[in-house]
Amino acid sequence: MGEFKVHRVRFFNYVPSGIRCVAYNNQSNRLAVSRTDGTVEIYNLSANYFQEKFFPGHESRATEALCWAQGQRLFSAGLNGEIIEYDLQALNIKYAMDAFGGPIWSMAASPSGSQLLVGCEDGSVKLFQIIPDKIQFERNFDRQKSRILSLSWHPSGTHIAAGSIDYISVFDVKSGSATHKMLVDRQYMGVSKRKCIIWGVAFLSDGTVISVDSAGKVQFWDSATGTLVKNHLIANADVQSIAVSDQEDSFVVGTAEGTVFHFQLVSVTSNSSEKQWVRTKPFQHHTHDVRTVAHSPTALISGGTDTHLVIRPLMEKVEVKNYDAALRKITFPHRRLISCSKKRQLLLFQFSHHLDLWRLGSTVATGKHGDTLPLSKDADHLLHLKTKGPENIICSCISPCGSWIAYSTASRFFLYRLNYEHDNISLQRVSKMPAFLRSALQILFSEDSTKLFVASNQGSLHIIQLLEGNFKHLHTFQPQSGTVESMCLLAVSPDGNWLAASGTSAGVHVYSVKRLKLHCTVPAYNFPVTALAIAPSTNNLVIAHSDQQIFEFSIPDKQYTEWSRTIQKQGFHHLWLQRDTPITHISFHPKRPMHILVHDAYMFCIIDKSLPLPNDKTLLYNPLPPTNESDVIRRRTAHAFKISKIYKPLLFMDLLDERTLVAVERPLGDIIAQLPPPIKKKKFGT
């Protein structure tokens, strides 16, 4: 496996922003997640919960509601009063439309998918018609006194329920008038609160309206008579979200205490037809408020202020008890936020609104295996680069020589030149970027820092020649006609001759940088690509997919390599295939061509192609090699996958030189310490 000196970096103080909404799409089995900074992410639940796409956030665009309509169209609405539709192919915003009702709190698509309903700050409920490529205002419902915080359609589409402060209204869709107004009790454990906020409503097909409110109640109302049917007091704090399954036999609520409750419709006695709602299971996977929940046919999905997205499969719905039935907790983005300059030992950290540049520390001490060496020179914070404007950073990169930094927001591309003079550095912006370089999904510098590769969101790839403090546009690879899919991942060969680019679903394209044309396309695979890299000298393209498969493709021969074929024939170890975080980075050892270094959030692995592959009977996660065993046994048990789980959660790992590694960790405890305050809970004996 080799021994390395490891820089263990823990000063990347990245805090993901809290989850505000989730929306589950049954047709494509995808999950849309919006965060408090306005970012929207799309997870593909059938591709091993991989975060396929993301739309960068915006300071003024605080998303409060998210929904799918007409199958694949995604809408969001927020406190700036705009309804936004996202273009899921080109990965940008199709249009934003003002609803003219002040901040929007809630949104719901009709069961048929042709209409969209928004609830606004001024108490109006507005109905929009969804037409191809646009939405069109249709009419207003009767104006209410206070803001509409939650909305739900009756499955037949004839009525809607709207939750406001202290009351729930039921509207008739045809006439637009309120048929019932159901007042909610402000009392909370005998104490009268100032107001009772209806955080969520759900309309069932039998006419029952379920409401959850800030007094900790889950209430069942009869919409025909406007009366309270049943009341469950489930929490000492707000109940903030509700989601009902499509069959209407179970629903899920999330509370501010971090608990998620599952309610099910069960028979009163063992063989009677009379059924009632019963609170069946509590789940405590969150530490902070659960702001949103969703109910997929097989799982409960919840997200909240503590930034975790939790997917909890329901055991009774899962047919095969395999690893898919396990709990998933997604905390970190499935893309790289860190880039590294090997030559100058610099790390560039990407945050939502700024970039940080650090120089790694160094040590003169030596020690034996497993020692922690004292630093003789501390890590230096060299640069704090703030973005202009309200847009979040999409991607960033530092050149391997450390003298260029590039980053992009949704509308602008920035390139900076760094000059080092002894101990101080100076930064110079390269002005007059060409007009076509407006927004990039991925930026990459070539190994010798003379070329810049930019994947723009129109699907084209730009190659730019970098000169001393200046640049020249060399070429643009246009996307193949008929495709609008944008490229999200790039890799360049160390000799600078080949460029590989992959989109979200189609195969990986390999371009020849010398001849400026498409060289070949790697056959498409069912699962999205999570990481790409081209090996030095051999020019083998290594591709990792979200189902943990790794392929090696020889670019000069335009075919898979022998090793790749062998491993596909034999199959990966079953424990390897069960890993739940995608491989986010692949690198190579400069002196050992047989090694491939890969890592995901919880492990780091060196794949040694010269060793035999493990079969399902061998131990995959080998502990550190015991020293007292004989060489023969060690050789017999050795296999190609050398896995280390010392560093976790691991956000980035790369080789600085032959004997030095850098690992960037982000302990979860540090993230919790920077989150908003949680609800106080009494623990016995404290």
Binder of another protein out of 136, 284, 372, 521 (CB under 8 A): 136
For residue 576, give the H/E element and its range: helix 574-577
Beta bridge partners of 43: 31, 51
CA distance 472 to 463: 9
CA distance 175 to 195: 30
Q: Is 370 left (phi over 0), alpha (psi -120 to 50) or beta?
A: left
Neighbours of 192 (CB within 10 A): 11
> Binding string, 204-223, against another protein, x = CB under 8 A?
----------x---------
Distance of CA 495 to the CA centre of its chain: 33
Nearer to another protein, 318 or 679 (CB): 679
- Spatial contact of 33 and 21, defined as CB atoms under 8 Å apart: yes
Residues 55-74 that bind another protein (CB under 8 A): 60, 62
| Amino acid, single-letter form, for residue 652 | F
Residue entry with tokens 């000298």:
537
Q: How far is the CB of 147 from another protein (least distance, A)?
A: 8
CA distance 654 to 345: 11
Q: How far is the CB of 364 from another protein (least distance, A)?
A: 29
Compute CA distances 360 → 542, 585, 685, whole Å. 28, 20, 45
Sole window of 27-35, 95-103, 277-285, 354-362 interacting with another protein (rule: CB under 8 A): 95-103
CA distance 575 to 684: 39
Based on the shown chain and the rule CB under 8 A, indicate whether residue 289 belongs to the binding site for another protein.
Answer: yes
Based on the shown chain and the rule CB under 8 A, indicate whether residue 665 belongs to the binding site for another protein.
Answer: no
Binder of another protein out of 16, 38, 56, 81 (CB under 8 A): 81
Q: How far is the CB of 24 from another protein (least distance, A)?
A: 24
Helix (H, G, I), strand (E, B) or coil at 672: helix
Helix (H, G, I), strand (E, B) or coil at 671: helix
Binder of another protein out of 5, 96, 121, 495 (CB under 8 A): 121
Sole window of 139-147, 341-349, 526-534, 580-588 interacting with another protein (rule: CB under 8 A): 139-147
- Spatial contact of 543 and 529, defined as CB atoms under 8 Å apart: yes
Binder of another protein out of 35, 147, 462, 642 (CB under 8 A): 147
Based on the shown chain and the rule CB under 8 A, indicate whether residue 164 belongs to the binding site for another protein.
Answer: no
Based on the shown chain and the rule CB under 8 A, indicate whether residue 157 belongs to the binding site for another protein.
Answer: no
Sole window of 189-197, 359-367, 520-528, 581-589 interacting with another protein (rule: CB under 8 A): 189-197
Based on the shown chain and the rule CB under 8 A, indicate whether residue 672 belongs to the binding site for another protein.
Answer: yes
Sole window of 234-242, 318-326, 440-448, 546-554 interacting with another protein (rule: CB under 8 A): 234-242
Based on the shown chain and the rule CB under 8 A, indicate whether residue 686 belongs to the binding site for another protein.
Answer: yes
Based on the shown chain and the rule CB under 8 A, indicate whether residue 137 belongs to the binding site for another protein.
Answer: yes
Binder of another protein out of 71, 138, 278, 448 (CB under 8 A): 138
Burial of residue 226 (CB within 10 Å: 0-12, 13-18, 19+) is middle
Sole window of 48-56, 79-87, 156-164, 218-226 interacting with another protein (rule: CB under 8 A): 79-87
Based on the shown chain and the rule CB under 8 A, indicate whether residue 238 belongs to the binding site for another protein.
Answer: yes
Nearer to another protein, 118 or 491 (CB): 118
Binder of another protein out of 5, 193, 281, 343 (CB under 8 A): 193
Residues 480-499 that bind another protein (CB under 8 A): none
* Residue 489 tokens, joined: 């991942």
What does R_g of the chain's alpha carbons equal in angstroms?
27
Sole window of 78-86, 296-304, 544-552, 638-646 interacting with another protein (rule: CB under 8 A): 78-86
What is the C-alpha end-to-end distance of the chain, expressed in Å? Answer: 47
Compute CA distances 263 → 151, 210, 311, whole Å. 20, 11, 17
Task: Catalog residues that contact another protein under the rule CB under 8 A.
Answer: 60, 62, 79-81, 97-98, 100-103, 105, 121, 124, 136-140, 143, 147, 193-194, 197, 214, 236-238, 256, 287, 289, 669-670, 672-681, 683, 686
